[in-house]
C-alpha cells in the first residue's frame, strides 16, 4: 500500500482511509467516540450559536454522527470541509452575546446580523445610554447638532443647533470632548483653528471583496439557523514588510446576504443569477479584506464657505500589492479546499470602506491641526478629541475597538486631571 501511496502529508489520509475501510471494528470505535462527542456537545453547549468545527478529523470525520459539523484537518482531502490548523486558525472578534444580559437577548442564530440585530445581541454603544442617563452627573440633551467651536476667555465654547426647534445653544465648559466622527470633528476643529484652505491628510483603508467556493459543501442544504457575522479571519503577510500583515480580512457565510443582493452583483440577468446561486449559496463564502491606509492618498480641506471638501485616491503601489494579495489568497484558500471565484475580486472605490481616521493625529509634540497623546488639540485649550480622527495610522485591521479603548483612556485621564484640579 505504501508503494501505491508515496508517503507524503497529502497522501497520508488516503492511505489511512483505505486501512479504515477494511476494519469494521475500528469504524465502530470511531462511531462510538463521535456519539460521545455529540452527547457532550448537547450537554455542555446545548443551543450555543456558532459553527461546530472538528479539528483533526482525519479519515473518520464526526459528520457521520453530527451532521452540521465542519470537518477539518491540517492537510486537505476531498471529504473535508476545510483545512484548519489550531495554531493559525483566526477567530473573528465579535462583541455578540451568547447569553442574555439585562435587556439584551442572547443570539438566536436568526442570521440577520448584517442588517441590524433585533435581539440587541450585537454590542452597540447606544445600548449604554439608558444606564448612563441614570447617572446623577450626566445631563443628556438629545438632538443637538454641533455647528461651531470656539475658544474664548471662559474656555471652549460649542454652539449647537437643536434639530427639533431650530434654536441655537452655546455651551461653555472647562473641557469639551469631541466625538462627532472624523469628518464632523475635523470640520469643527479646523474652523476653531482658522485652518482654512489648507489640506490635512485623511486616512481610510482600501478594501476589497471576493467570493470563495467550497466544493466539499456543494450538496449542503440551506441552514435553518446561522450566525451572519464573520467567524473566521485571516491575514496576508509580506516578506518585504518583514512578515507584517499587509491585509486582514474576514469570511462570512453567503447565506447571510439575501439572494437578490448577491444576484445583483453577477454579470448575468437576475433570473439566471438566481438559478445559478440558489443551489450554490450554501457552499459559498464571502470575504472582505482591508489594506493599510498607507495606500490611501486622501485629504480634507475646510473652505472659507465652511464646507469640508474631501479629495481621495489610491496610491499606485496599492495595485501591485493587490495582485500579490490575490495570489496569496488564491494559493492559501486552495490549500484549505476553497476556490477563489474568478471575477469575484472587487476593490471598492476610495472611501467606500467608511474607515475614516487620522486627520488630527496624536503626536508626542503636536503641531497645528494635531493632538497630543491625550487627545488635546494644539492651540485649543480645553478641547479634546476622542474619536477616530486621532489615530496616527491605520494598519491593516479593523480599528473601532481601538477607537473605543482610546476614547475610554482619554476620558479617564481627563477626568482624573480635572477632578484633582
The residues that touch ligand SF4, with contacts defined as CB under 6 A, are 96, 107-113, 117, 119, 121-122, 227-228
Contact partner at residue 109 from ligand SF4, ligand FAD, none, CB < 5 to 8 Å by partner kind: ligand SF4
Nearer of residues 145 and 272 to ligand FAD, judged by Cβ: 145
- Residue 111 beta carbon to ligand SF4: minimum distance, rounded to whole angstroms: 5
Nearer of residues 181 and 379 to ligand FAD, judged by Cβ: 181
Strand pairing report for 155-162 and 69-73:
unpaired
How far, in Å, CA of 154 to CA of 173, rounded?
8
- Residue 313 beta carbon to ligand SF4: minimum distance, rounded to whole angstroms: 36
354 contributes a contact to ligand FAD by CB under 6 A: yes
* Residue whose C-alpha is closest to residue 82's, from 94, 66, 69: 69
- Residue 244 beta carbon to ligand FAD: minimum distance, rounded to whole angstroms: 19
- Residue 171 beta carbon to ligand SF4: minimum distance, rounded to whole angstroms: 37
- Residue 93 beta carbon to ligand SF4: minimum distance, rounded to whole angstroms: 14
145 contributes a contact to ligand FAD by CB under 6 A: yes
Which of 27-35, 127-135, 174-182, 411-419 is the region at the interface with ligand FAD (rule: CB under 6 A)? 174-182
Size of the site for ligand FAD (CB under 6 A): 15
| Angle between helices 24-44 and 9-21 in degrees, nearest 10 | 110
How far, in Å, CA of 53 to CA of 82, rounded?
9
Nearer of residues 97 and 277 to ligand SF4, judged by Cβ: 97
Judged by DSSP in three states, 253 sits in strand
Nearer of residues 232 and 398 to ligand FAD, judged by Cβ: 398
Given a contact cutoff of 8 angstroms between Cβ atoms, the answer to whether 51 and 220 are in contact is no
Contact partner at residue 113 from ligand FAD, ligand SF4, none, CB < 5 to 8 Å by partner kind: ligand SF4
Residues 6+ apart with CB under 8 A from 174: 155, 382, 418
Among 63, 298, 362, 399, interactor with ligand FAD by CB under 6 A? 399
The alpha carbon torsion through 69, 75, 76, 81 (nearest 10 deg) reads 10
Among 49, 90, 181, 209, interactor with ligand FAD by CB under 6 A? 181
- Residue 140 beta carbon to ligand FAD: minimum distance, rounded to whole angstroms: 13
Nearer of residues 46 and 269 to ligand SF4, judged by Cβ: 46
Computed from CA positions of residues 189, 190, 192, 193, in that sequence, does the dihedral angle turn out positive or negative? positive
- Residue 48 beta carbon to ligand SF4: minimum distance, rounded to whole angstroms: 12
54 contributes a contact to ligand FAD by CB under 6 A: no
Answer left, alpha or beta for residue 46, where phi above 0 means left and psi between -120 and 50 means alpha. left
How far, in Å, CA of 209 to CA of 346, rounded?
5
Computed from CA positions of residues 123, 125, 126, 131, in that sequence, does the dihedral angle turn out positive or negative? positive
How far, in Å, CA of 164 to CA of 159, rounded?
15
Answer left, alpha or beta for residue 408, where phi above 0 means left and psi between -120 and 50 means alpha. alpha
Per-residue DSSP letter, 348: P
Contact partner at residue 71 from ligand SF4, ligand FAD, none, CB < 5 to 8 Å by partner kind: none
Footprint of ligand FAD (CB under 6 A): 145-146, 179-182, 184, 354-355, 387-388, 398-400, 403
Amino acid at each position: 500500500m505504501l508503494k501505491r501511496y508515496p508517503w507524503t502529508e497529502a497522501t497520508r489520509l488516503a492511505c489511512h482511509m483505505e486501512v479504515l475501510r477494511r476494519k469494521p471494528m475500528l469504524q465502530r470505535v470511531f462511531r462510538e467516540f463521535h456519539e460521545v462527542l455529540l452527547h457532550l456537545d448537547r450537554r455542555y453547549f446545548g443551543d450555543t450559536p456558532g459553527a461546530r468545527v472538528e479539528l483533526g478529523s482525519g479519515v473518520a470525520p464526526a459528520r457521520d454522527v453530527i451532521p452540521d459539523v465542519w470537518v477539518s484537518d491540517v492537510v486537505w482531502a476531498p471529504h473535508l470541509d476545510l483545512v484548519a490548523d489550531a495554531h493559525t486558525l483566526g477567530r473573528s472578534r465579535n462583541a455578540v452575546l451568547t447569553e442574555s444580559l439585562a435587556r439584551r437577548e442572547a443570539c438566536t442564530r436568526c442570521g440577520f446580523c448584517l442588517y441590524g440585530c433585533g435581539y440587541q445581541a450585537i454590542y452597540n454603544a447606544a445600548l449604554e445610554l439608558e444606564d448612563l442617563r441614570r447617572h446623577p452627573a450626566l445631563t443628556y440633551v438629545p438632538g443637538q447638532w454641533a455647528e461651531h467651536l470656539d475658544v474664548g476667555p471662559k474656555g471652549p465654547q460649542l454652539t449647537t443647533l437643536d434639530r427639533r426647534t431650530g434654536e441655537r445653544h452655546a455651551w461653555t465648559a472647562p473641557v469639551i470632548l469631541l466625538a462627532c466622527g472624523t469628518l464632523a470633528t475635523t470640520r469643527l476643529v479646523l474652523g476653531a483653528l482658522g485652518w482654512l484652505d489648507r489640506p490635512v491628510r485623511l486616512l481610510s483603508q482600501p478594501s476589497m471583496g471576493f467570493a470563495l467556493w467550497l466544493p466539499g459543501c456543494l450538496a449542503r442544504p440551506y441552514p435553518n439557523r446561522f450566525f451572519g457575522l464573520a467567524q473566521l479571519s485571516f491575514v496576508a503577510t509580506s516578506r518585504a514588510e518583514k512578515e507584517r500583515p499587509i491585509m486582514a480580512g474576514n469570511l462570512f457565510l453567503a447565506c447571510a446576504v439575501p439572494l437578490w443582493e448577491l444576484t445583483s452583483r453577477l454579470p448575468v440577468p437576475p433570473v439566471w443569477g438566481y438559478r445559478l446561486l440558489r443551489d450554490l449559496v450554501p457552499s459559498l463564502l464571502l470575504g472582505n479584506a482591508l489594506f493599510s491606509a498607507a495606500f490611501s492618498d486622501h485629504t480634507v480641506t475646510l473652505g472659507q464657505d465652511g464646507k469640508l471638501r474631501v479629495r481621495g485616491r489610491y496610491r499606485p503601489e496599492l495595485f501591485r500589492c493587490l495582485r500579490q494579495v490575490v495570489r496569496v489568497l488564491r494559493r492559501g484558500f486552495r490549500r484549505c479546499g476553497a476556490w477563489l471565484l474568478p471575477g469575484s475580486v472587487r476593490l471598492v472605490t476610495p472611501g467606500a470602506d467608511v474607515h475614516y481616521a487620522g486627520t488630527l493625529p496624536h503626536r508626542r509634540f503636536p503641531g497645528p491641526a494635531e493632538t497630543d497623546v491625550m487627545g488635546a488639540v494644539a492651540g485649543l485649550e480645553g478641547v479634546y478629541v476622542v474619536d477616530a480622527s486621532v489615530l496616527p495610522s491605520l494598519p491593516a485591521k479593523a480599528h473601532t475597538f481601538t477607537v473605543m479603548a482610546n476614547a475610554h483612556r482619554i476620558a479617564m485621564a481627563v477626568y482624573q486631571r480635572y477632578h484633582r484640579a
